Amino acid sequence: MAEKKRELVSGSRLVDENSLKERLIVIFTKWEVILAVLIVFEFILFSNLSPYFLDYFNLMNSTFTFMEKAIMALPMIFIIMSGDIDISIASIIALCSFSMGFASSHEIGAAGIVIIGLLAGLSAGMVNGFLVTSFKMPAIAVTLATQSIFRGISQAILEDQAYTKYPEKFAYFGQGYLGETLIPFELVLFLVLAAIMGFVLHKTQYGRKLYAIGNSKEAARFSGVKVDRARFINFTLMGLFCGISAVLLTSRIGSTRPNIALGWDMEVITLVVLGGVSITGGKGNLFGVLMAIFLLGYLKFGMGLINLSAKVMIITTGLLLIIAVLLPGFLDTVKARRKLRRQQKESGMVEV
Amino acid sequence: MSETILEVKNLTKYFPGIKALDGVHLTIRTGEVHALIGENGAGKSTLVKIMTGVYFPTAGEVLYEGNLLEFKNALDAQNAGIAAIHQEASMFSELSVTENIFMGHHITKGRTRRIDWKAMQKETQALLDELELDIDCNTLVKNLGVAQRHMVEIAKALSLNAQIVIMDEPTSALSMREVEDLYKIVRRLKDAGKAIIFISHKFDEIFEICDYFTVLRDGKYIGEGKVADTNVDEIVTMMVGRSLDQMYPKTDVAIGKTMLSVKNLAQPGYFSNVSFDLHEGEILGFFGLIGAGRSEVMRTIFGIDKRSAGTVSLDGKEVHIADPNDAMNYGIAFVPEDRQSQGVILQMSIAKNITLPQINKLSKYGIINKKREFEVTKTFGEKMEIRAAGWHVDADTLSGGNQQKVVLAKWLATQPRILILDEPTKGIDVATKAAVHEFISEMASQGLAVILISSELPEVLGMADRVIVMHEGKMTGEFSREEANSDNVIKAATGHIEEGVSL
Amino acid sequence: MSIPTSIKTITQRRETSLILLIGVLLFGVTMRAPNFVSVTNIERIVNDTSILIMVSIGQFFVILTGGIDLSVASMIGLSGMSAAMINQYNPGMPAGFVLIIGMLIGMVLGMINGAAVAYGKVPPIITTLGTMSIYRGMTFVISRGQWVTAHEMTESYMNLPHGNFLGISNLIWWGIVVSVIMFYFSKYTKRGREIYAIGGNKVAAKFVGVEEKKIHMTIFTLSGILSGIAGVMWTSRFAAAVNETAAGFELQTVAACVIGGVSIAGGSGAVVGVVLGALFLGIINNALPVINLSPFYQMFIQGAIVLVAMLINTLSEKRREQELLKGRQQ
């Protein structure tokens, strides 16, 4: 092992001069860096397997298929970060989309439709937040119930019908490009939202509080953090972003059926956990999730290009998810063992 | 008559970052009550956990009935006849009393090894009756009070037919009458030839019930002897390891005007009718048994729990504190009892821990000012002499003492006028302990008003200008520094109301 | 301040109230449709609910420890598809044998979940979220996206649930047998009680020698076995093995548990409650068309019931705590 100069100081200087090798180990065992490397590897692999992969137009257009989920992943980071979960989000989309279809069938214009969609999402999120914080019920149980309720409302009214008539202007949100470029509006919107949410999470006091809550609700409360208020805001934000996502999705596919976005809850949660956010809260960052989004998005696109069934994709995602959680835990165990052994060695202990 | 049943030789136990035990000896004989004495963090709990198979020793050996002890888990220890009544609630609250007693060794019958509920209920009821407890064996534990739960734990140890019974502060939540009952049980066990290891903070108990004692300090073996041949001062000196003046550097401070005034504060089920004044420069000690309601009073003042009656006034004006944020704005800081779950956030850095309570103030438009955050951390981190590789290291890499310094720094950084400390020296080493005491003295001399909750009598007597004693949610005594002594304070803590005390 | 012994434990009260509720429900529906409470209709309801009962009991044990098994539906799909394909390609094999194979496949899938949780220290929700995808994907892979349809199955296979004994269908018998065995397991075996211990207090459980790893293996394996049986029953009953078999079913099993009074945080609940919870859902589903409500209301009503059940659980627990505090004060 490299020689280490380690000195305990009472101060800000970190006197821990590791060798280059050790520093590289630290960097490359960071989950988001591993994900980034995987993306590079993925690009190399697919561009060799298919001539259509490394094509500007294709790379841009394929984002249409995963931007809506990506947008929902952003507030989901907040929720999981603070130790909660929301499995009702796909149903919120159904509720929003239904509301928009309903509005559209009553001759309301594109702007009105969007506002109604966002409001529907916002209120659904507030309902979740209210139930979770006011009655102290576990988020997974509450959102399990509202999952049925939100989608149930649209199903009860729509039955096996569908709304398919939307104003022409409305199509821009899910199908349009930015000006004359080939950059999808959805992608731009996502990047803007990701920048905002990343800023909130990593640079503001609100984000700091989320980390505190996720690590220890109790200690956060003792430090004056208004825990329930933050959790309520998280669920409300989640609802709002579902509304945004519902606008994009409805606009893109141009129709609303009761089974719209079915199963997306799990896909979005997978993105967040795969991105390195701890399911028990308190750990992770937005960059990792960003990496996971593009890794999985382009994996799907690439596999489609080389005619690999979508089902291989599902299996891969599931495996990645488990490995993503298994690996850090395994690494931690190894580290702890090494630390204990070193400690024993330093104090002249023989291992028993 | 009495023979050695358990022998601990040169036992050492390491945890990552902590040396919990270092060459400890202990000899336990049958038919004796053996007091295991030491301050918080002296290593008593770790020793118990090794004897009961929860932890494995790093080095050294434990001989049980002459054989090397090789427990793979807690069950082995139980089956071998070593039973512990644990300090922390180790019960299944959703299950019945019967099942709590028999979990791990259910009575079964027949070849199918079917659980025999009738037999277990019968045996449980017999045990409960023997202890003269008015509890039905089918009651769910969540419906029992604290004292009843403790008695159920004792019944459990009896049901195991244990040869060695370890009682970790068994009386801490019991009333006088219940303590008497417990003594009866202990004597009965002793007469039956069992060995009892008795862990306690209370000297009256040790002298009342114990035969032998062993003292630990800082994970090290200090000494042992016959209880009959010693006295309180001797034991305290062994526990603390230095003279009381060094340990409790109390400076004389002129007591100023009243800052905090609490009137008739109450919370149903926890405490009632709590009234006291707190003055500038004063250290007000709160003594009592675990569960006496001291922490709950402070939690209520700090706005964590809701009060049902009473008023809190600051500088003569009544204030309404709805949550910890309000309390902070009024200049109150609260260092909670449970450091690991309420004090620090283990997975966050020292800097982030220190600045958390005032992160709003360190932000502009919600954006954290990193430079100011660093300045605050540096100022107060250095003031508390936190020893770490840097401000960015996570709190869980620090020793207990340094973690407590982080908590103190974090609250000091809010520049409070009133500092409430709930068991501030629990589970930290002796050196840090002295530093914490020094810190408390310094705060008081700077004009802060300090409330010090402690279950350690020497600490309260050594540090406080005035001592308030609580018992079962009520104030049962108030003593000036001069009046207070171990006798009257302990009496009040066990429910004797002192004459002449105005309540 | 002793607690009157005449008042039995909360759990028992919860079950009696559920039975009462089911009675009221049946009565209410009979007012609109007198034929609803007939022997044949009740039998039909129980028949429809048997699979839900079996899988919900498996789910119950996982929830009891504070976990959740999101992969049950995928295990049903994969074991059902495997069994149906074994039957398709080996028509000579006795149907009972195929059932056992299906069960074993479920067992292995459950053991994989258990191993990841117990030895890999992956939280149950993540493990089963992952295997939910993996098992579903594997279903597509082995079937190559094709279905197994009725005319590709043997008569005896399709008869597995439909045959009857003493005038009651095999499927109902399976439901009854599984419920009884699992009731016995949860109440009269050490391992069963240890599951309660882990769910109630992990630290205390360790003190009395309960090994968490073994418990995790047990519950996930059980959940797998029951899902395996359910998978075979599902494909044979509907005489089709599709790739999406039972998709979304995991939520119904959780719902049955919650309605049955199982705390989602772990530690409390009982098999009887879960069975009643599942039956309650079954009755609701069957009652909707009878009272002229479109089946499209089913989802909404189910969600509302789960929410109400949870609110009742939470509020009654709160009241109990307050009463306990009042008792302390006296």
Which among B151, B47, B165, B36 has a CA at the least distance from the CA of B100?
B151
Residue-level pLDDT at B501? 45
B161 and B93 in a common domain: yes
For B97-122, how does the pLDDT look when each residue is reduced to its tens digit (9 = 90+)?
A: 888 888 888 888 888 888 888 888 88
With left for phi above 0 and alpha for psi between -120 and 50, is residue B50 left, alpha or beta? Answer: alpha
Cα–Cα distance for residue pair C11/B227, rounded to 1 Å: 50
Angle formed at CA B118 by CA B113 and CA B119, multiple of 5 degrees = 70
Residue range B62-80: mean pLDDT, rounded: 78
Domain assignment present for B164: yes
Report the residue of chain C nearest A88, measured CA to CA: C303
Measured between beta carbons, the chain C residues lying within 8 angstroms of B134 are 2
Last residue of a domain, one of B200, B215, B242: B242
Give the best-scoring range by mean pLDDT among B362-376, C32-46, C210-224. C210-224
Q: What is the ipTM of this complex?
A: 0.83
Asked if C254 is an interface residue toward chain A (Cβ–Cβ < 8 A), one would say: yes
The pLDDT value recorded for residue B173 is 64
The single-letter code of the amino acid at A35 is L
**How far does chain C reach from its first CA to its final CA, in angstroms?**
8
Q: Residue C142: list chain A partners with CB under 8 A.
A: none
> What does the pLDDT read at residue C160?
78
The confidence band for A17, taking pLDDT boundaries of 50, 70 and 90, is very low
- What share of chain A has pLDDT > 70, as a percent? 87
**What is the mean predicted confidence (pLDDT) over C137-146?**
85
CB contact under 8 A, C134 and A138: no
Report the mean per-residue pLDDT for chain C: 84
Domain assignment present for residue B21? The answer is yes
Chain C: nearest CA to A177, how far in angstroms?
33
**Is the pLDDT confidence value at C77 over 90?**
yes
Mean pLDDT lowest among A207-216, A271-280, B110-119, C37-46: C37-46
Q: How far is CA A276 from CA A34, A67, A329, in A?
A: 10, 19, 12
pLDDT of residue C227: 95
Determine the pLDDT at residue B498: 52
* Strands B317-319 vs C164-165: parallel, antiparallel or unpaired: unpaired
**Alpha carbon of residue C313 to chain centroid:** 19
Query: Do B117 and B86 belong together in one domain?
Result: yes
pLDDT for res C82: 92
Mean pLDDT, residues B379-404: 82
pLDDT band for C4, please (50, 70, 90 cuts). very low
For residue C69, give how far its alpha carbon lies from the nearest alpha carbon of chain A (Å).
13
Ranges B392-406, B446-460, C61-75: which has the least confidence:
B392-406
Please give the distance of CA B427 from its chain centroid, rounded to a whole number: 9
CA distances, A86 to each of A62, A70, A114, A231 (Å): 27, 15, 23, 11
For an interface test with C, which of A95, A134, A149 has the most C Cβ atoms less than 10 Å from its Cβ?
A: A149
In this structure, which amino acid lies at residue C2? S
| Tokens 């999952």, residue located | A147
Angle at A263 between CA A258 and CA A264, to 5 degrees: 100
Which residue has 């609109």 as its token pair?
Answer: C32
Q: What is the pLDDT of residue B500?
A: 42
Tell whether B303 and B417 lie within a shared domain.
yes
Domain contains C1: no
Q: What is the pLDDT of residue A10?
A: 35
Residue C200: give the domain boundaries: 10-329
Range C129-147 average pLDDT: 87
Say which residue the tokens 């382009």 belong to: A298
List C-alpha distances in Å: C117 to A322, B374, C56, C111, C269.
10, 40, 20, 10, 22
pLDDT of residue A339: 67
State whether C126 and A279 contact (CB < 8 Å): yes
Q: A290 pLDDT band (50/70/90 cuts)?
A: very high
What residue numbers bound the domain in which B297 lies? 246-493
pLDDT-derived band of residue C330, with 50, 70 and 90 as boundaries?
Answer: very low
Please state the domain count of chain B: 2
Which chain A residues contact residue C302 at CB under 8 A? Answer: 148, 152
Question: What are the start-end ranges of the H helices in B396-485?
Answer: 400-412, 430-445, 457-463
Angle between helices B146-159 and B117-130 (to 10 degrees): 110
pLDDT band for A3, please (50, 70, 90 cuts). very low
3-state DSSP call for residue B310? strand
Closest Cβ–Cβ partner in A136, A145, A321 for C129: A321
Determine which helix (DSSP H) or strand (DSSP E) holds B422, and give its type and residue range: strand B418-422
Greatest mean pLDDT among A333-347, C64-78, C240-254 lies in: C64-78
Q: Last residue of a domain, which of B242, B264, B283?
A: B242
Kindly calculate the radius of gyration of chain B based on its CA atoms and give it in whole angstroms.
24
Cβ-defined contact of C297 to A152 (cutoff 8 Å): yes
CA angle at A84 for the pair A80 and A89, rounded to the nearest 5° = 80
> Which pLDDT score is estimated for C2?
38
Residue A347: predicted pLDDT: 54
The answer to the question of residue B500 being in a domain is: no
pLDDT of B463 strictly over 50: yes
pLDDT, tens only, B132-151: 778 888 888 888 776 777 77
Asked if the model's pLDDT at residue C8 lies above 50, the reply is no
Give the residue with greater pLDDT, C45 vs C62: C62
How many CB pairs (< 8 A) connect B and C?
103
pLDDT bracket for residue B247 (50, 70, 90)? low
DSSP 8-state symbol, B367: E
- Around B314, how many Cα atoms within 13 Å sit in the side-chain half-sphere? 16
Q: Is residue B143 part of a domain?
A: yes
Q: What does chain A come to in residues?
A: 352
CA distance B181 to chain A (A): 36
CATH of the domain at B446: 3.40.50.300
Q: Are residues B346 and B384 in the same domain?
A: yes
B230 and B254 share one domain: no
Is residue C5 domain-resident? Answer: no
- Is residue B249 pLDDT above 80, yes or no? no
CA distance B117 to B139: 14
Contact (CB, 8 A) for A338 and A344: no
Interface residue C126 vs chain A (CB under 8 A)? yes
pTM, whole model, 2 decimals? 0.85
Contacts of residue C293, defined as CB under 8 A and 6 or more positions apart, other chains included, come to: none
pLDDT of amino acid C328: 56
DSSP, res B394 = B
The 3-state DSSP class for residue B39 equals coil
Amino acid C182 reads M
Q: Indicate the DSSP class of residue B349.
A: B
What does the pLDDT look like over B6-43, one tens digit per residue?
A: 888 888 888 766 677 888 888 888 889 999 888 766 78
Tell me B397's DSSP state.
G
State the CATH number of the domain containing residue C202: 1.10.3470
How many of the other CB atoms lie within 10 Å of CB of A337?
A: 11
Look at residue A250 and tell me whether its pLDDT is greater than 90: yes
Angle, in degrees to the nearest 10, between helices C212-237 and C72-89 = 50
* Alpha carbons C317 and C322: distance in angstroms, whole number: 9
CB C250 within 8 A of CB C296: no
Q: Is the CB of B382 less than 8 angstroms away from the CB of A220?
A: no
User: Does residue C2 belong to any structural domain of this protein?
Assistant: no
Total domain count, chain C: 1
- Output C207 or A214, whichever has higher pLDDT: A214
Residues within 8 A of A (CB atoms), C 131-170 only = 131-134, 136-138, 140-141, 145
Query: What tens digit of pLDDT does each residue of B185-239 get?
Result: 888 888 888 889 988 777 778 888 899 999 888 788 888 888 888 887 788 778 7
Q: What is the pLDDT of residue A201?
A: 93
Residue A224 sits at φ, ψ, to 5 deg, of 85, 10
Domain at A63-329: CATH architecture: Orthogonal Bundle (1.10)
pLDDT at B128 over 50: yes
What integer pLDDT is reported at residue A206 of this predicted model? 94
What single-letter DSSP state applies at residue C2? P
Could you give the angle at the alpha carbon of B146 between the alpha carbons of B141 and B151, nearest 5°? 75
B contact residues 435-454, partner A, Cβ 8 Å cutoff? none
A34 touches chain C (CB under 8 A): no
Residue C16 is encoded by which pair of tokens? 């009696």
Best residue in C220, C250, C307 to probe A by mutation, most A CBs within 10 Å?
Answer: C307
Percent of chain A residues topping a pLDDT of 90: 47
Tokens of B199: 């862990």
Task: For residue B404, tell me if it sits in a domain.
Answer: yes
pLDDT at C11 over 70: no
Nearest one of B96, B138, B149 to C4, comparing CA atoms: B138
The predicted pLDDT at position C321 comes to 78
- Asked if B25 and B163 sit in the same domain, the reply is yes
Q: Is the pLDDT of residue C239 over 70?
A: yes
Biggest CA pair distance of chain A? 82
Residues B312 and B203 in one domain: no
Last residue of some domain: B202, B217, B242? B242
User: What whole-number distance in Å separates Cα of residue B315 and Cα of residue A309?
Assistant: 74
The SS3 of residue B273 is strand
- Top-confidence range, B169-183, B480-494, C46-60, C151-165: C46-60
CB atoms under 10 Å from CB of A198, counted, come to 18
Cα-based distances in Å from B3 to B27, B161, B197, B228: 10, 18, 15, 19
- All residues at 6 or more sequence positions from A292 whose CB lies less than 8 Å from its CB, including other chains: A35, A271, A272, A274, A275, A276
Q: b/e string for B486-501 if b means 16 or more Cβ within 10 A?
A: bebbbbbbbbeebeee
Helix (H, G, I), strand (E, B) or coil at B147: helix
pLDDT tens digits, one per residue of C98-107: 899 999 999 9
Per-residue pLDDT at A48 exceeds 50: yes
Q: How confident is the model at residue B395 (pLDDT cuts 50, 70, 90)?
A: confident
- Of residues C281 and A77, the one with the higher pLDDT is A77
Average pLDDT, chain A: 85
pLDDT of C264 higher than 90: no
Lowest-pLDDT choice from A116-130, A171-185, A318-332: A318-332
From A34, A9, A35, select the one nearest A298 (Cα to Cα). A35
pLDDT for the residue A352: 33
Residues of C within an 8 Å Cβ radius of B:
1-3, 5, 8-10, 187-190, 193-194, 196-197, 199-201, 203-211, 263, 267-268, 320, 324-329
Query: What is the pLDDT, as a whole number, of residue A309?
Result: 73
The strands making up B18-29's β-sheet, listed across from edge to edge, are B67-68, B59-64, B4-15, B18-29, B220-226, B212-217, B33-37, B195-199, B164-168, B82-85
Decide if B257 contacts B280 (C-beta within 8 A).
yes
List the Cα angle B120/B122/B125 in 5-degree steps: 105
